[in-house]
Structure 1
Amino acid sequence: MRAPLPPLPCVQAFEAAARLENFAAAADELHLSPATISQRIRTLETHLGVRLFERLARSVELTELGRAYLPAVRESLADLAVATSGLFGAVRREQLTVRTQVSYATTWLAPQVHEFQQTHPEIDLRLVCAVWSEALTPGEVDIDIHQGRGPWPDVNSELLHHDNAVVIHGPAHTARYGPITSVTDLAARPRVQVLGFDDVWQRILPDDAALPERAITVDTSVAALEIAAADDACAAIPERFARTAVRAGRVSLALDQTWPMRQAHYLFRPLDAPHHTAPARAFLRWLSDLEQRSTPLGKAAE
């Protein structure tokens, strides 16, 4: 019976860390975070039942068993690389994992991401939303985008986007309730509320506003957008999430205004992963350029 083989990603992490004598350098070479390298080496050590590295204050050193294992690992990886290249051609593609909320991925990234793929065909992009994020191993995410107010413990957070809100509606709304000329017209009309944005409607409407005819609460902006498009309710969502649908004619702005939100989009990084990988830096440069090129909807409310 064949002995169980160790996981290949763990073996690759071990070889790079042993050759470079540094987890951070191995992480940069493999386009991973140092936390991922450390986790994969721990997995390999658990699989083998031995310690391969001595963790020192500022460096790592191979144990005696680690030094004995390294030549066989290098030879096996080299043989695999030669066989793969000879049969299938050189493998040059890299994978980038971006974790973000469903609405950000669906309404903001999805309509634009073909640009990034055309510019960087060597990078395979993987977008992961909350429904799948728990399946990822620690350190497997290259870029982590969150919306909220902060601060957050145990992570480095960097402002990525400021957010403003707009009010949108579908064709059925004005057909039933008539045109909207001011925020006062919105007060009693049916509305969609997004969980986490509880202050948005309060910022839009006057303090003495009437109660809405009916209201529905959802947990994502994309759900609010779809309800507004298909029903006669108005929805208040982040402006960037509405751009594609408004410009495609699926929904309309209730008023040509935007309102500041307390929430914003932030870039998260673990405290032990101070540097982004090269593919991650390429994606963030593209995202910054996309932000500068994009024209927002509406005008800021006075």
Structure 2
Amino acid sequence: MRDPLPPLPGVQAFEAAARLGSFAAAAGELHLSPAAVSQRVRSLETHLGVPLFERLARSVELTELGRAYLPSVRESLDDLAVATGGLFAPARREQLTVRTQVSYATTWLAPHLHLFRAEHPEIDLRLVSAVWSEALTLGEVHVDVHQGRGAWPGVHARLLHHDDAVVVHGPGHVERYGPVRDAADLAARPRVQVLGFDDVWQRLLPTGPAGPAITVDTTVVALELVAAGDASAVVPERFARSAVRAGRVDLALAEAFPMRQAHYLLRPVDDPRPSAQARVFLDWLADLDDHVPALPMPAEDGG
């Protein structure tokens, strides 16, 4: 059972008078009369059984017990104000929830989100990976970006990005295995296979790859494995831009390859129009392609 609480109006009056140094100043802040503040403090003192102030002619001073009590009172009132404001205060900023897969968030959004924040500081962005797709309903998500072939039951899908694939290899690949003159050179070499992108390898190597493979489920893991070693991988060109430009991985072939998958914006069938804040973010995504151009393909005669 909780111990009896002191009278809260008295606690508030005590803190204000202690901070401001007089009952009159506390009365002005609390929109009370000085007599009402004095009465509330007296009620608190009666409850505690000790005086908290020494009453002087034009001011008040804390007693020793008052000084000891004040820090706990301030901390409690501050905690209450923060909790109340966080839960019940009118929203002062707009929040936009964006859900997408980890690779899109990590390789495409993360390197450039500072640009969005600079252009739209009034929008607080909440970025949720598809790992938590079951935690939020479609109606709770303002921007829902998925990679696939555009057929999801029960939702309206609008194309956002066409995607091409590129082949990348690690920094030690050429030194260990020699230059990559064409796709056939990769057949017997180690590779990282991303689930869902098998069709690109099949077009590159019609007779099938012979080299050892590590299979992963996200592009971001594939890029990390390639950067740390000498294997090659097929990844969406969009996702490879930052890693290639940073020198972490290299392009292996002098062309990009169309993918069956693309990126789509998903919306509920009964509410296909994005919100105003979502349209701001989607316009920024469209402009991002102009600011972050596609990778130039390397010369045909080497890796």
Q: TM-score, normalised by structure 1?
A: 0.67
Superposed, which structure 2 residues align to 1:245-260 within 5 Å? 245-260=243-258
Q: Following TM superposition, by how much is the alpha carbon of 1:90 offset from its aligned partner in structure 2, in angstroms?
A: 7.9
The 8 Å contact of residues 169 and 230 in structure 2, kept in 1 or not, is answered as: yes
State the distance in 2 between where 1:258 and 1:219 align: 21
- Which residue of 2 is the match for residue 168 of structure 1? 168
Question: How far 1:277 sits from its partner (Å)?
Answer: 1.3
Q: In 1, Cα distance between the equivalents of 2:247 and 2:138?
A: 41
AA aligned to 2:186 is L
Q: Which residue of 2 aligns with 1:243?
A: 241
Paired residue for 1:120? 120
Q: Distance in 2 between matches of 1:226 and 1:116?
A: 26
Q: CA deviation at 1:138?
A: 4.8
Separation in structure 2 between the aligned mates of residue 91 and residue 119 of structure 1, nearest angstrom: 20
Provide the residue aligned with 2:110 in structure 1.
110
C-alpha RMSD of matched pairs (Å)? 2.3
Shift of residue 184 of structure 1? 1.5
Partner of 2:142 in structure 1? Answer: 142
Equivalent pair of 1:191/1:235 in contact (CA under 8 Å): yes
Number of the residue aligned with 1:179:
179
> Retained in 1: the 8 A contact 2:138–2:267?
no
Q: Does 1:297 align with 2:289?
A: no
Note the C-alpha offset of 1:134. Answer: 1.9
Q: Secondary structure at the match of 2:117?
A: helix
Match of 1:274 in 2: 272
Work out which structure has the larger RCO, using CA pairs closer than 8 Å and 6 or more positions apart in sequence: 1
**Residue in 1 aligned with 2:261?**
263
TM-score (norm 2): 0.67
For structure 1, which runs of at least 5 residues remain unmatched after alignment? 1-79
Q: Distance in 1 between matches of 2:157 and 2:239?
A: 22
Count residues in correspondence: 215
* Counterpart among 285, 288, 291 of residue 286 in structure 2: 288
Which structure's CA Rg is the greater one? 2
What is the one-letter code of the residue matched to 1:121? P
Describe how 1:212-231 pairs up with structure 2 within 5 A.
Answer: 212-231=210-229
Are 1:197 and 2:164 an aligned pair? no
- AA aligned to 1:185 is D
Q: Does 1:155 align with 2:152?
A: no
Go from structure 1 to structure 2 and tell me whether the alpha carbon gap of 1:298 and 1:188 turns closer, same or farther (over 3 Å shift).
Answer: farther
Q: Distance in 1 between matches of 2:91 and 2:148?
A: 39
What is the letter of the counterpart of residue 215 of structure 1?
A
Identity %: 66
Task: Output aligned runs, 1:41-120, within 5 Å.
Answer: 91-120=91-120
| Contact 1:258 1:298 survives alignment (8 Å) | no
**Residues 265 and 117 of structure 1, relative CA distance in 2, 3 Å threshold:** same
Q: CA deviation at 1:137?
A: 4.3
Decide which moves more: 108-117 or 285-294.
Answer: 285-294
Within 1, Cα distance between the matches of 2:104 and 2:92? 29
- Alpha carbons of 1:235 and 1:262: their partners in 2 closer, same or farther (altered >3 Å)? same
The answer on whether the counterparts of 1:146 and 1:267 sit within 8 Å (CA) in structure 2 is yes
Q: How far apart in 1 are the matches of 2:165 and 2:155?
A: 27
- Runs of at least 5 residues in structure 2 that lack an aligned partner in the other structure: 1-80, 299-303
Task: Kindly indicate whether residue 226 of structure 2 is the aligned counterpart of residue 232 of structure 1.
Answer: no
User: In the aligned structure 2, how far is the partner of 1:138 from the partner of 1:293?
Assistant: 30
TM superposition shift of 1:265: 0.4
Task: Give 3-state SS (helix, strand or coil) of 2:289's partner.
Answer: helix
In the alignment, the residues of structure 2 paired with residue 261 and residue 123 of structure 1 have an alpha-carbon distance, to the nearest angstrom, of: 33
- How far apart are residue 298 of structure 1 and its match? 4.0
Q: State the one-letter code of the partner of 1:208.
A: T
CA contact (8 A) 1:107 1:244 kept: yes
State the shift of 1:198 in Å. 1.6
> Deviation per CA, 1:23-71, whole angstroms, max 9, x where unpaired?
xxxxxxxxxxxxxxxxxxxxxxxxxxxxxxxxxxxxxxxxxxxxxxxxx
